[in-house]
Structure 1
């Protein structure tokens, strides 16, 4: 891996991938939905809205020209927004890397954001929100975050709400873009059959005088900001679904915490695969549900450990009781040596197999740089940290996390909490 910080603050990180014939280019911006409330109360959903809007044209390219240039080389151009990051990326043949860098930089830094395009793309974003509202699992995840995180900046959906998007103005979007989408808050990550020198040449040509665009004076508040545990730890959304959907969990450690790898092991043992405790107990032994799993989310100041199960409404009480028992067992007894070995092996395999293509390597580079991780650390260092996790590490973390009151969100045929089975109301206290 090679890394250069250009005079305007743009960080360029590259990796040559032996045997590749492609290049993946990603311009990562250190901005996400969590940065909206602190910027302007009217900007909820602005980062995601801009993800759409910036593809509508630049001063040099129309939306059609952007599409045609990438299609003409058989490439792929897209973007995604998270709570803390936004990434605009392209995957092309190695020979077309300079074009990809130029298009991606042009889109992100020089979008026109015309009022007529704001009006047009507003309908597209509202359609996306409507599609989310048709998916019970998406609704459940948003309800769970709202319940667990409350007024914390990480609370609220990335896409915003129908109300916030409907009222989003071109002025709010333009100010949000000017404050955040600048080289000093950006990382250009490139992986594939490339050299660092060639990428730097492409960056200089692609950015031009935009390399010093904006002063990047806005910074995300630092430090650990913990959400307050809500007094009401149970949220219910009535929906005419065939299944009941349940998500429960607790605040956990942030991704820079020394215990992060222990949390990954804990989540893997709990519900990270077909040999996990939840899969074996809920699905294999009892046949209570088809889908059951645990997951972790790590942010700059906190994390979330959650468990999901989807089952027939009449089985929700039994399933919730099993989840509660499994969490309590982990808090009391930790994990066995066999479980620890399986979890570490599973995580090692997922790490390595997940980095087999240039797109995943590019994402690895971009995320690590934005996270502020030591650029000298490579995949071997990450694997070593997983191997270093001990049973006592996991046991101590489980006891700590599951001593916290559990919050639970439900989507299904329930008018309110009184309609829920007693076992579930007991889980959420």
Structure 2
């Protein structure tokens, strides 16, 4: 299939054949629960993810860190399973399970043999609906999360990116630390997190994505049974919660800012960034090709010019992070302290060059074949397929299989790539961690 499959929230069922003879099915229950599956011929395993469109940006005052707190607590027991039983259910069949919190969603996921999918649905449903948030476990997990925050504070890369997001997004809700702060975790109460859990984990927010050898109808029946057993009322009629607004945030503006975090390190790690694209922007395919050409690998312009030709850095890459209503794009590099200013100057020159001169036909053709090849390789992973389903359902409102993705990439022109490259010019935010001399800082002020 070379056309996108639209996923309107008011469509109760879809059934489509997609690339590779796979089968995409999607059901929206009257309660608002959404199940989207991709049955992959020949797959021996299956990946399942239960997604709640709730992250650090959605937390109110006194709730900071609650999404991540719940990510930990939902593994700690329900009326029918204690923490060890939950772990044993997956480990006795050789499966793995975990969870993750981001700024815009929380996911509880597992990977098992296809014949163990029913068990995975049962356990994840039980966790989502019936977690106890036991008071003693709450206090134990508070300590674990404080240890996790402390561990991140010892990692220069984690510190750099957390501080960068805070400074770049300023007063925007995306600036909040995902795990909260030591202060917000210390002050959190079990009742406050319980209220957050019960207010936000409900049928109309839940998206379940399954990829691999999966029977959609059987999985839907098992999912309904599991959610009802946990106490969710699936007989109530509710529309799925609306997707996040795709209107670009008016709070985020391009600005010049420089911050240096002092740490006694051997290298200085740095980020240069400007506002980027929102998740659903139609230009995202051209933007992805630009980043492949600019800083996506060992053949990229930045790697060749900054590392291979001049020897200024050990690592350098460009990046783009997109959220529903805001995005950020830029370059990350690590170098010796006495090379910071020169490295930034060469990087800025390369950004200006691609914006002013564009890319060559050969570069664009290579980027397209690389993206198509990378997309095909990613589909060998059922976990990647699962995440692709969830992103389509939660963020984009459309599903692109490999054929449709290659078609979209093939339509991108040099002019379109040059247009988005212009976003990398102008005033920039620069964040560094590690030694920066006064002289280098003065040069950075001029280059930002």
Q: TM-score, normalised by structure 1?
A: 0.93
The residue aligned with 1:8 is 31
Offset of residue 403 of structure 1:
4.0
SS of the residue aligned with 1:59?
A: coil
Q: Is it true that 1:156 corresponds to 2:176 in the alignment?
A: yes
The residue aligned with 1:19 is 42
Matched-pair contact (CA < 8 Å) for 1:147–1:234: no
Matched-pair contact (CA < 8 Å) for 1:249–1:406: yes
Q: Is it true that 1:286 corresponds to 2:342 in the alignment?
A: no
Of 307, 320, 323, which residue of structure 1 is paired with 2:331? 307
Change (3 A) 1:104 1:19: same
- 1:337-352 → structure 2 map (5 Å cutoff): 337-352=361-376
Query: Which range is displaced more, 211-220 or 173-182?
Result: 211-220
Of 260, 282, 287, which residue of structure 1 is paired with 2:284? 260
Q: Which runs of 5+ in 2 are unaligned?
A: 1-23
CA distance in 1, matches of 2:79, 2:439: 57
Q: Is it true that 1:392 corresponds to 2:415 in the alignment?
A: yes
- 1:140-179 → structure 2 map (5 Å cutoff): 140-179=160-199
Matched-pair contact (CA < 8 Å) for 1:27–1:89: yes
The residue aligned with 1:123 is 143
Offset of residue 422 of structure 1:
3.4
The residue aligned with 2:398 is 374
Of 212, 230, 251, which residue of structure 1 is paired with 2:234? 212
Instruction: Please list the CA deviations of residues 231-261 of structure 1 after superposition, one character each: whole Å capped at 9, or x if unmatched.
Output: 6511111111110010011111112111111
Offset of residue 229 of structure 1:
3.5
Change (3 A) 1:241 1:336: same
SS of the residue aligned with 1:261?
A: helix
SS of the residue aligned with 1:410?
A: strand
Q: Is it true that 1:410 corresponds to 2:439 in the alignment?
A: no
The residue aligned with 1:80 is 100
SS of the residue aligned with 1:25?
A: strand
Q: Give the superposed CA RMSD.
A: 1.9
Instruction: Please list the CA deviations of residues 300-324 of structure 1 after superposition, one character each: whole Å capped at 9, or x if unmatched.
Output: 1121112100011011111011111
Instruction: Please list the CA deviations of residues 15-73 of structure 1 after superposition, one character each: whole Å capped at 9, or x if unmatched.
Output: 1111111121110111111111xxx2111111111101111111211111111111111
Matched-pair contact (CA < 8 Å) for 1:144–1:248: no
SS of the residue aligned with 1:413?
A: coil
Q: Which runs of 5+ in 1 are unaligned?
A: none
Query: Which range is displaced more, 179-188 or 307-316?
Result: 179-188
Matched-pair contact (CA < 8 Å) for 2:255–2:427: no
Q: TM-score, normalised by structure 2?
A: 0.90
CA distance in 2, matches of 1:211, 1:14: 23
Instruction: Please list the CA deviations of residues 301-359 of structure 1 after superposition, one character each: whole Å capped at 9, or x if unmatched.
Output: 12111210001101111101111101111221111112111222222222221121222
SS of the residue aligned with 1:42?
A: coil
Q: Is it true that 1:242 corresponds to 2:266 in the alignment?
A: yes
The residue aligned with 2:4 is none
CA distance in 2, matches of 1:227, 1:44: 20
Matched-pair contact (CA < 8 Å) for 2:293–2:364: yes
- 1:321-336 → structure 2 map (5 Å cutoff): 321-336=345-360
